[in-house]
Amino acid sequence: MDLTGIITGSIAVLSLFVGLPAIVFTFMHKNIKNKREKEIEKLKYQKEILELEIERENKQIRLLEEENKKLDKIIYEN
C-alpha cells in the first residue's frame, strides 16, 4: 500500500467520524433554533392578543362607569 492510499483511507475514515456528525449536528442545531424562533414568535403574538384583550376590558370598564354615572344621576335627581 502506498502513501496515497493511506492518506485517502485516512481521509475517508475521518470524514465518517468528523464530517458526517458535523453535518448532522448542524442540521439538528438549525432545527432547534427554528423551533425556538417559532416559539418566541408565537409568544409575541399571544402577548399582543392579551394586550388587546386588556385594552378591550378597560374600555368596557369605562363604558360601565359612564353608564353608572348616568344611572346615579337619574337616581339622585328623583
How high is the pLDDT of residue 19? 81
Backbone angles phi, psi at 75, to 5 degrees: -65, -45
pLDDT reported for residue 64: 97
Give pLDDT, residue 59: 98
pLDDT of residue 21: 85
pLDDT at 22: 87
Whole-model pTM? 0.60
Q: What is the 3-state secondary structure (H, E, C) of 4-25?
A: HHHHHHHHHHHHHHHHHHHHHH
Per-10-residue mean pLDDT for the chain, 78 residues long?
82 82 90 95 98 98 96 87
